[in-house]
Amino acid sequence: MPAYHSSLNEVEDARQVGNMSILPIKTKIRGPAPVADHEQADIIDETLDLFRANSLFRNFEIKGPADRLLIVLILFVSDCLAKIGTAKTVPTQIEASKLLNTLSVDNFPIPGDANFALNAHYAGPGNRADADYLRTYLTQVRQELAARLVERLYADGSGKPSKWWMAFQKRRFMNRSLGS
Protein backbone atom coordinates (compact mmCIF):
# COMPACT_ATOMS: atom_id res chain seq x y z
CA MET A 1 0.00 0.00 0.00
CA PRO A 2 1.51 3.34 -0.98
CA ALA A 3 1.82 6.35 1.29
CA TYR A 4 -0.59 9.26 1.02
CA HIS A 5 0.63 12.21 -1.05
CA SER A 6 -0.24 15.88 -0.98
CA SER A 7 -3.22 16.94 -3.03
CA LEU A 8 -1.51 20.32 -3.43
CA ASN A 9 1.17 19.00 -5.82
CA GLU A 10 -0.95 20.23 -8.73
CA VAL A 11 -1.16 23.85 -7.53
CA GLU A 12 -0.10 25.76 -10.64
CA ASP A 13 1.14 29.13 -9.43
CA ALA A 14 2.86 28.09 -6.19
CA ARG A 15 6.25 29.69 -5.67
CA GLN A 16 9.15 27.30 -5.18
CA VAL A 17 12.32 27.82 -3.21
CA GLY A 18 14.81 25.15 -4.08
CA ASN A 19 12.42 22.35 -4.98
CA MET A 20 9.95 22.92 -2.11
CA SER A 21 6.58 24.61 -2.63
CA ILE A 22 5.64 27.79 -0.79
CA LEU A 23 1.92 27.14 -0.28
CA PRO A 24 -0.75 29.43 1.17
CA ILE A 25 -1.87 28.77 4.75
CA LYS A 26 -4.76 29.86 6.93
CA THR A 27 -3.10 31.80 9.73
CA LYS A 28 -3.15 34.87 11.91
CA ILE A 29 0.59 34.62 12.57
CA ARG A 30 2.64 37.28 10.82
CA GLY A 31 5.00 36.10 8.14
CA PRO A 32 5.66 35.78 4.43
CA ALA A 33 3.22 32.93 3.72
CA PRO A 34 0.45 33.65 1.24
CA VAL A 35 -3.00 33.64 2.85
CA ALA A 36 -5.22 30.69 1.94
CA ASP A 37 -8.98 30.60 1.50
CA HIS A 38 -10.52 29.72 4.88
CA GLU A 39 -13.05 27.41 3.23
CA GLN A 40 -10.45 25.05 1.72
CA ALA A 41 -7.91 22.79 3.40
CA ASP A 42 -4.32 24.03 3.41
CA ILE A 43 -1.03 22.15 3.75
CA ILE A 44 -1.26 22.23 7.56
CA ASP A 45 -4.70 20.60 7.56
CA GLU A 46 -3.37 18.03 5.12
CA THR A 47 -0.33 17.35 7.31
CA LEU A 48 -2.45 16.77 10.41
CA ASP A 49 -4.88 14.57 8.48
CA LEU A 50 -2.16 12.43 6.90
CA PHE A 51 0.34 12.31 9.79
CA ARG A 52 -0.83 9.15 11.53
CA ALA A 53 -1.26 7.16 8.33
CA ASN A 54 2.01 8.31 6.75
CA SER A 55 4.06 7.85 9.91
CA LEU A 56 3.61 4.10 9.49
CA PHE A 57 5.57 4.13 6.21
CA ARG A 58 9.33 3.76 5.93
CA ASN A 59 9.41 4.77 2.26
CA PHE A 60 7.83 7.76 0.58
CA GLU A 61 7.98 8.47 -3.13
CA ILE A 62 8.13 12.22 -3.71
CA LYS A 63 5.67 13.11 -6.47
CA GLY A 64 5.95 16.89 -6.38
CA PRO A 65 7.17 19.97 -4.54
CA ALA A 66 4.23 19.96 -2.09
CA ASP A 67 5.26 16.45 -0.99
CA ARG A 68 8.63 17.85 0.08
CA LEU A 69 6.90 20.39 2.30
CA LEU A 70 4.58 17.66 3.61
CA ILE A 71 7.58 15.52 4.61
CA VAL A 72 9.19 18.36 6.55
CA LEU A 73 5.93 19.14 8.34
CA ILE A 74 5.22 15.48 9.20
CA LEU A 75 8.72 15.21 10.68
CA PHE A 76 8.06 18.38 12.68
CA VAL A 77 4.78 16.94 14.06
CA SER A 78 6.73 13.85 15.08
CA ASP A 79 9.26 16.04 16.91
CA CYS A 80 6.41 17.95 18.61
CA LEU A 81 4.83 14.74 19.91
CA ALA A 82 8.22 13.53 21.14
CA LYS A 83 8.75 16.86 22.94
CA ILE A 84 5.38 16.62 24.70
CA GLY A 85 5.98 12.94 25.50
CA THR A 86 9.35 13.59 27.13
CA ALA A 87 8.07 16.30 29.46
CA LYS A 88 8.52 15.43 33.15
CA THR A 89 4.80 15.80 33.84
CA VAL A 90 1.89 15.61 31.42
CA PRO A 91 1.61 19.18 30.14
CA THR A 92 -1.67 21.07 30.18
CA GLN A 93 -2.92 22.61 26.97
CA ILE A 94 -1.36 25.98 27.81
CA GLU A 95 1.98 24.40 28.79
CA ALA A 96 2.00 22.31 25.60
CA SER A 97 1.23 25.39 23.54
CA LYS A 98 4.18 27.25 25.07
CA LEU A 99 6.46 24.24 24.69
CA LEU A 100 5.63 23.72 21.01
CA ASN A 101 5.73 27.43 20.18
CA THR A 102 9.25 27.55 21.58
CA LEU A 103 10.17 24.49 19.53
CA SER A 104 8.72 26.02 16.38
CA VAL A 105 10.78 29.23 16.60
CA ASP A 106 14.03 27.58 17.68
CA ASN A 107 16.83 27.67 15.13
CA PHE A 108 16.46 24.76 12.71
CA PRO A 109 18.28 23.62 9.56
CA ILE A 110 16.72 24.19 6.15
CA PRO A 111 17.46 22.36 2.89
CA GLY A 112 20.98 23.15 1.82
CA ASP A 113 22.34 23.46 5.38
CA ALA A 114 24.99 20.89 6.27
CA ASN A 115 22.97 19.42 9.16
CA PHE A 116 19.60 19.14 7.34
CA ALA A 117 18.52 15.49 7.60
CA LEU A 118 17.15 15.11 4.06
CA ASN A 119 19.64 17.01 1.90
CA ALA A 120 19.81 14.13 -0.59
CA HIS A 121 16.16 14.73 -1.54
CA TYR A 122 16.03 18.53 -1.43
CA ALA A 123 17.66 21.27 -3.44
CA GLY A 124 18.93 24.18 -1.41
CA PRO A 125 17.76 27.75 -2.00
CA GLY A 126 19.44 29.51 -4.90
CA ASN A 127 20.68 32.52 -2.95
CA ARG A 128 20.77 34.10 0.51
CA ALA A 129 17.47 35.99 0.05
CA ASP A 130 15.66 32.75 -0.88
CA ALA A 131 17.22 31.00 2.13
CA ASP A 132 16.01 33.75 4.47
CA TYR A 133 12.55 33.67 2.88
CA LEU A 134 12.35 29.87 3.26
CA ARG A 135 13.45 30.04 6.89
CA THR A 136 10.84 32.68 7.79
CA TYR A 137 8.14 30.82 5.83
CA LEU A 138 8.93 27.54 7.59
CA THR A 139 8.99 29.31 10.96
CA GLN A 140 5.52 30.73 10.32
CA VAL A 141 4.20 27.36 9.11
CA ARG A 142 5.73 25.57 12.11
CA GLN A 143 4.11 28.05 14.52
CA GLU A 144 0.69 27.58 12.92
CA LEU A 145 1.15 23.80 12.79
CA ALA A 146 2.09 23.70 16.47
CA ALA A 147 -1.00 25.74 17.40
CA ARG A 148 -3.34 23.51 15.40
CA LEU A 149 -1.66 20.35 16.71
CA VAL A 150 -2.29 21.46 20.30
CA GLU A 151 -5.94 22.08 19.42
CA ARG A 152 -6.24 18.51 18.09
CA LEU A 153 -4.27 16.95 20.95
CA TYR A 154 -6.49 18.53 23.60
CA ALA A 155 -9.79 18.48 21.67
CA ASP A 156 -11.56 16.18 24.12
CA GLY A 157 -11.40 18.74 26.96
CA SER A 158 -9.83 16.35 29.48
CA GLY A 159 -6.72 18.49 29.94
CA LYS A 160 -4.48 15.63 28.78
CA PRO A 161 -3.15 14.99 25.29
CA SER A 162 -5.05 12.42 23.24
CA LYS A 163 -3.66 8.92 23.63
CA TRP A 164 -4.53 8.28 19.97
CA TRP A 165 -2.06 10.96 18.96
CA MET A 166 0.55 10.32 21.64
CA ALA A 167 0.81 6.67 20.52
CA PHE A 168 2.80 8.03 17.56
CA GLN A 169 5.41 9.89 19.62
CA LYS A 170 8.07 7.21 19.14
CA ARG A 171 7.17 6.52 15.50
CA ARG A 172 9.61 7.94 12.97
CA PHE A 173 8.33 8.72 9.49
CA MET A 174 10.88 7.31 7.00
CA ASN A 175 13.00 6.46 10.09
CA ARG A 176 14.07 10.11 10.15
CA SER A 177 13.92 13.05 12.50
CA LEU A 178 14.55 16.74 11.94
CA GLY A 179 16.74 16.60 15.02
CA SER A 180 14.86 19.36 16.85
Give the tens place of pLDDT for each residue, 86-136.
Answer: 988 999 999 999 999 999 999 999 998 888 888 888 888 989 999 999 999
Average pLDDT over residues 56-60: 84
Confidence bin at 154 (pLDDT 50/70/90)? very high
Integer Cα distance of 92 and 80 in angstroms: 14
Contacts of 41 (CB under 8 A, 6+ apart): 49
Rounded (5°) CA angle 162-26-176: 55
Map residue 2 onto helix, strand or coil.
Answer: coil
What is the model's pLDDT at position 175? 62
What integer best gives the mean pLDDT of the chain?
89
Full-model pTM: 0.92
Determine the distance from the C-alpha atom of residue 90 to the mean position of all C-alpha atoms in its chain, rounded to a whole number.
23
Helix axes 65-85, 128-153, angle to 10 degrees: 50
Distance CA 168, CA 10 (A): 29
The band of 180, judged by pLDDT with boundaries at 50, 70 and 90, is very low
Reduced to 3 states, what is the DSSP secondary structure of residue 15? strand
